[in-house]
Structures are given as C-alpha cells and as structure tokens.
C-alpha cells in the first residue's frame, strides 16, 4: 500500500493554501484526533484505540512519499486529521481561525476602545482553551488589559483552563436543569443570555460604584 500523486493537477503547485485551524491537537496519541474527538462522536475506548492505530499507519504511509509529514505537529489532528492532510499534501499553512476572523473584522480596534469584552460559545470546555474563538478574543483583550467575561450554554469541568488564557470569569446562561430541546430553543436561549448578561453588568456596575467610593 502506498500514497501516490500521479494524477494530481499540476496547477496545485502554484496555489497557496491558508487553513483556518482552531485547535492544537496532534494527529495521534492521547491528544490526537481519535482520542479527543472520537468520544464526542460516540466512540468507546476500544474504538478510539483502533482509530488511533489507523491514523498512525496513515501517517507512516504519508511519510514514505512526503518526508516532511509530521503527525506530531500542532494542528494536524484538526477536523479528524484534515490538518495533517492539508499540511502534507497541499503544503498548506495552518493559521488560527480566530486570527483570520479578528483581522478581517477589525476586532482589535473595537477591543482597544472597550471597557469590557464579552465572548462565549455553546459549550466552554478544555478545547476552548486550546485555541478556539473565545480564547483568541481573550488573548487580544489582554493585550490592552481589558477584563474578559465568557458566557456559555454549558460548562465542562475543564472550562477552568480558560482562565489561564485570559478569560477572567465565565458563566453558564442556563438557569437550572433543562432538557436539550429547551436549552436549544432560540427564544429560551435569547432570554437566558439576556438575563445572565444583565446580572454580569449589575455586578460590574456595583464594583465600579464601590471603587469610586474608595
């Protein structure tokens, strides 16, 4: 078995690929795509071990053709291993997706002029701290010493890792135990987000009030 590029379009050699990559996972091992993303898709421990073995074999095959193939490079495990494919077969460049978005939206100027930065996502967890949008926003905010609050639909135990990435505090917008359908209902989500944001800013205003008195 081998990998060949005999039928690849020659025009690809003239192309440059910038790949938006939001995670730093490698291709194989404990932080590889199978171990990290497999359980999210329903894979049990045996299945994860089997898939990781497939990825290792795939990487060895790729290295026979492309000496620079490196399954240990950060980002190669993104999107189930597509990061490895883009780097190896298209000579692409992996860039933080949030960096591209921040550049295109002029976010730095907005953050520079802000008093507080609020970010968030559906679920705040360990992967968030590994380069996803909220962490990227927080790092930029800390460049200007801005406080950062994150709001999320749910919080994993590993969400505390986000504090090390510049998120000063985070909050779940859910008021209590609810079903997934209730949590995902757009009207409920909008109301829950507004209610939680109001409480955050009440605390913020109170803090400013006492700071002025002192």
Give pLDDT tens digits for 59-102: 999 999 999 999 999 999 999 999 999 999 998 999 888 888 88
pLDDT number for residue 214: 67
pLDDT tens per residue across span 17-65: 988 887 889 999 999 999 999 998 899 999 999 999 999 999 999 999 9
Last residue of a domain, one of 65, 97, 129: 97
pTM: 0.62
Last residue of a domain, one of 76, 97, 118: 97
Closest by CA to 36, choosing from 178, 132, 133, 101, is 132
Residue 7 located in a structural domain: no
Residue 6 located in a structural domain: no
Residues 32 and 85 occupy one common structural domain:
yes
Quick one: residue 210, left, alpha or beta (phi over 0 = left, psi -120 to 50 = alpha)?
alpha
Q: Which structural domain range is residue 20 located in?
A: 16-97
Of the chain, the percentage scoring pLDDT greater than 70 comes to 99
Residue 3 located in a structural domain: no
Of the chain, the percentage scoring pLDDT greater than 90 comes to 68
- The pLDDT of 118-132, averaged and rounded, is 86
Q: Is the pLDDT of residue 170 over 70?
A: yes
Last residue of a domain, one of 97, 117, 146: 97
Residue 188 located in a structural domain: yes
| CA gyration radius, the chain | 21
Highest mean pLDDT among 10-19, 52-61, 118-127, 172-181: 52-61
Residues 110 and 209 occupy one common structural domain:
yes
Residues 57 and 149 occupy one common structural domain:
no
């Amino acid at each position: 078995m081998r990998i060949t590029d005999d039928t690849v379009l020659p025009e690809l050699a003239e192309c440059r690929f910038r790949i938006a990559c939001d995670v730093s996972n490698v291709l194989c091992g404990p932080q590889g795509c199978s171990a990290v993303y497999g359980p999210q898709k329903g894979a049990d421990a045996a299945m994860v071990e089997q898939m990781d073995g497939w990825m290792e074999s795939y990487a060895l095959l790729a290295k026979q053709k492309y000496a620079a193939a490196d399954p240990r490079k950060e980002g190669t495990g993104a999107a189930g291993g597509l990061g490895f494919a883009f780097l190896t077969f298209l000579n692409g460049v992996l860039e933080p997706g949030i960096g591209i978005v921040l550049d295109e939206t002029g976010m730095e100027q907005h953050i520079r002029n802000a008093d507080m930065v609020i970010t968030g996502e559906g679920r705040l967890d360990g992967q968030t701290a590994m380069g996803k949008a909220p962490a990227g926003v927080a790092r930029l905010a800390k460049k200007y010493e801005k406080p950062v609050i994150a709001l999320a639909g749910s919080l994993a135990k590993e969400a505390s890792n986000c504090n090390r990435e510049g998120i000063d505090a985070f909050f779940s917008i859910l008021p209590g135990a609810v079903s997934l359908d209730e949590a995902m209902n757009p009207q409920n989500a909008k109301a829950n987000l507004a209610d939680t944001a109001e409480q955050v800013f009440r605390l913020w205003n109170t803090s400013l009030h006492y700071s002025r008195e002192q």
